Amino acid sequence: MNIQKSLDTVNRYRWIIITIFILTIIAGFFVLRNLPKDYKSEAKLSTGLLDPSRQLAPDRASYTGPDIIIKLNQQFSTIMDIMRMPKNISLLSYRLILHDLKDQKGTFKPWSAEVKVLTDAQRQEAIGLFEERLGKKQVLTPLDNGKIKLYQIVTSMGYDEKSLNKKLDINHEQNSDFISVAFTSNNTLLSVFVVNTLSNDFINNYSLEQILNKNTAIVVLDSLLKKKEAVMNNRIKQVKDYKIRNGVLNLDKQSQIVYQQITDNENKRNQALIDKQAAQAALKSVNEKLASRTSDKYLGAEVIEDNRAIISIKNKILAAEDNYLRNGYKPADKKIVDSLQLLLSARLIRSNDQYVSDPLIAKQSLVQRRISLGVEIEKATAGIGDIDRELAKLNAKFTGMVPFDAGVQNYEQKADVATREYLEILARYNQTSLDKNIGLRLQLVQEGIPTLPESSKKLIYMAMSAIASLAICFCTLFLISVLDRSVNNGAELKSALIAKVISELDYIRPDNDNIAKIWGTPHAESEYTVFKNQLRTLRFELDNMLFSNSQKVLGITGVGSASAQAFTVLNLAYAFAQMNKKVLLIGNQEFIPALQKLKIPADQPIRAVLQGADINENKPFAFINNDLDGQSLLEIRDREALSGIFGSISSRFDLTIVALDPLTDGAENREWISFITLYTAIFVAGSALHDKQKAALAPLNADEKFAGWIVSGVKQK
């Protein structure tokens, strides 16, 4: 999207936007001049939901934190939704229409056409029907258009549900206990009547409905409570009968006592087993000590060895003494006897020091200990037997109590379930009864009263209408700019085709398109001066290109209005003629009206020239009509002959301008261009350029013969 183009479009139509803006404000002023005043009346209802003085038995004890806020908001929303229900609005509609039908002078609104056409009898019948429906609290619907069109009458007076809800505002003031009911109308008494009537009717109907609902709930709960009570009593009786029938006093305590006795006896048995095993281990150790003769020195196990050593030494002493006597008391033999005596003494001393106690005493103690341990083992064995017999009795007793315990638990569980169900229903019954007596009670704490008119909204409405008109204008212009595919200047064309633009020519109004006047004597009209300067610049560019390539033939094609292209070509030919050049223009029928104004003959056909006819020269330039009667150049003459003819024309004229057909993919233009070494294209500003056209014109950029684009009819800002 081209933002600049959108801004240019807005700038181009700025005066239209300003005019529409001013007209909108003026029209709004006259339309809103007699805007009726609005009167607003407001009534306030207290719900008691947030009033501690009215919460005798709050039912929100189980709610905490955000749950309370959610529950309260739900209750407030429910109350407001009920107030807007058709059944409540219909009652208000009945009261309003009855008020106006019964008192024509004191009506809130003038009678509508539907009411005026009613006869007195029909009006009385309508009053009766409305009162009947009011008493029955029936909802008013479009189907209530019978002989007397009740719905149509109410709607015509603006008392129907849709009309009332538009001006009725019911909301809950934040963090307060009040619900506000407000109504805005052109009559302050009507506003007061609506809010007070709706509030009072709603309070009465809502309270009555609450009481009826509570009564219905109490009846249902009472019936259910009696059934649950009968079931509970029956279950309790079953428990009692089962205990009596099986002689069960207090099975829980009995089983607990027996179980404790079993636990105690098992602990005693375990301790007796431990004592028995300890005595057996000690007895085993005593027996091992008494049976061994080598393991314990205190029992004389080493005495035999010592005695043997002493006897051996004594024998050696006897042998030594005998040898001493026989050898004649030799000193050497004496030393042997003495050394053996010393060895015997040392052995005896060692034996005496090693055995300080009598081994017989220790052995006697072990024997006594063995007898004592045997007695303990027998006592432990006898105790374990007694404990096992007691455990067997207790286990049998406990096992016999299990079936009774299961039966009692089964009956008690059923009785407990029945009791809980009964208590739950009883709690709900009591709560419902309490809610019926001291539950939610709506109160009208502030009635609606007549008020002064609301501040006028004329300025707001006028501002909104003006803003809306501006928004519509800008949106329209935006859509125009988005959907507009037109190209209005050289920059846009260059951006669209990525092509070379050699000149722009300003727009000349149709009433000023006289070529002779443009190139005539100097004049003060600025558009002529600018246009001529632009043509001179273009003439210089083209002449420079032709001179550089030593060419005298220039082809001109284009896109857009054919008449606008013809006007540009004629001015260009006239501009070259002003350089004292002999100019020949070859064009079609579009040039003839302008040529007649310049008094240039336009009756020379190209067919005659191609057949060898002479070309008539004229001032400021000559013209040949290129109408070939549906044929092409190569169908009239061959290429060689045509080259010779165009060569002779070039030698005779300083410049030949060939006005080609609009840019298409036709063969005729390509035949002409084959005999032309330089051509340009005119794009008429304001012409649309679609994607297909862009694709068709894109190859021109790669054509060496193409000099560039001329944008004509550019409207300057």
3-state per-residue secondary structure call for 620-666: CCEEEECCCCCCCHHHHCCHHHHHHHHHHHHHHCCEEEEECCCCCCC
**More confident: 255 or 666:** 255
3-state per-residue secondary structure call for 380-423: HHHHHHHHHHHHHHHHHHHHHHHHHHHHHHHHHHHHHHHHHHHH
Question: 102 Cβ partners below 8 Å, 6+ apart?
Answer: 127
Can you give the pLDDT at residue 62? Answer: 45
Measured distance CA(596)–CA(543) in Å, rounded: 27
Which of the listed ranges 268-272, 579-583, 697-701 does the model predict with the highest average pLDDT?
579-583
Q: What angle do CA 709, 714, 717 make, to 5 degrees?
A: 140
**More confident: 109 or 260:** 109
Q: What are phi and psi of 231, to 5 degrees?
A: -65, -40
Measured distance CA(256)–CA(500) in Å, rounded: 113
Give the pLDDT confidence of 543-563 residue by residue, as tens digits: 888 888 788 889 898 888 888
Can you give the pLDDT at residue 129? Answer: 92
Q: List C-alpha distances in Å: 203 to 46, 56, 82, 214, 311.
A: 10, 20, 11, 16, 135
Can you give the pLDDT at residue 430? Answer: 83
Can you give the pLDDT at residue 193? Answer: 92
Residue 686 predicted with pLDDT over 70: yes
Two tokens at 258? 């027996």
Strands 168-172 and 39-46, bridge-based pairing = unpaired
Measured distance CA(20)–CA(15) in Å, rounded: 9
Residue 56 predicted with pLDDT over 60: no
Can you give the pLDDT at residue 249? Answer: 57
Contacts 24+ apart (CB under 8 A), 642-648: 642/610, 642/675, 643/675, 645/609, 645/610, 646/553, 646/675
Two tokens at 618? 């004229």
**Arithmetic mean of pLDDT, 318-340:** 80
Q: What percent of the chain has pLDDT over 70?
A: 83
Q: What is the dihedral of CA 553, 559, 560, 566, to 10 degrees?
A: 0
Residue 33 predicted with pLDDT over 70: no
Residue 298 predicted with pLDDT over 80: no
**Arithmetic mean of pLDDT, 700-709:** 85
**Residue linked to tokens 């502030």:** 446
Q: What are phi and psi of 2, to 5 degrees?
A: -90, 105
**Arithmetic mean of pLDDT, 397-403:** 64
51 pLDDT band, cuts 50/70/90, is low
User: Longest C-alpha distance within the chain, in Å?
Assistant: 202
- Mean residue pLDDT across the chain: 79
Residue 237 predicted with pLDDT over 50: yes
Residue 106 predicted with pLDDT over 50: yes
Enumerate the β-bridge partners of residue 444: 45
Residue 40 predicted with pLDDT over 50: yes
Can you give the pLDDT at residue 144? Answer: 85
Two tokens at 702? 């790669």
- Of the listed ranges 136-140, 257-261, 339-343, the least confidently predicted one is 257-261
Q: What percent of the chain has pLDDT over 90?
A: 4
**Residue linked to tokens 């669209």:** 496
Can you give the pLDDT at residue 196? Answer: 92
**Arithmetic mean of pLDDT, 220-235:** 84
Can you give the pLDDT at residue 91? Answer: 92
Measured distance CA(36)–CA(39) in Å, rounded: 10
Residue 358 predicted with pLDDT over 60: no
**Arithmetic mean of pLDDT, 3-15:** 68
Give the pLDDT confidence of 416-448 residue by residue, as tens digits: 887 888 888 888 878 777 766 655 567 788 888
Residue 394 predicted with pLDDT over 50: yes
Residue 359 predicted with pLDDT over 70: no
Measured distance CA(6)–CA(13) in Å, rounded: 11
Measured distance CA(134)–CA(437) in Å, rounded: 28
Measured distance CA(537)–CA(423) in Å, rounded: 109
Residue 296 predicted with pLDDT over 80: no
Q: Which of 554, 638, 623 is nearest to 590 (CA)?
A: 623
Please give the single-letter amino acid code of residue 366. Answer: L
57 pLDDT band, cuts 50/70/90, is very low
**Arithmetic mean of pLDDT, 495-511:** 83
Exposed/middle/buried for residue 343 (C-beta within 10 Å: 0-12, 13-18, 19+)? middle
Residue 382 predicted with pLDDT over 50: yes
Can you give the pLDDT at residue 52? Answer: 54
Measured distance CA(75)–CA(60) in Å, rounded: 12
Two tokens at 451? 């008020």
Strands 39-46 and 178-185, bridge-based pairing = antiparallel
Residue 576 predicted with pLDDT over 80: yes
Report DSSP letters for 683-694, one per residue.
EETTEE--HHHH
Give the pLDDT confidence of 605-649 residue by residue, as tens digits: 888 888 888 888 888 888 988 887 777 778 888 888 888 888 888
**More confident: 170 or 10:** 170
Measured distance CA(306)–CA(313) in Å, rounded: 11
Indicate whether this model's pTM tops 0.75. Answer: no
19 pLDDT band, cuts 50/70/90, is confident
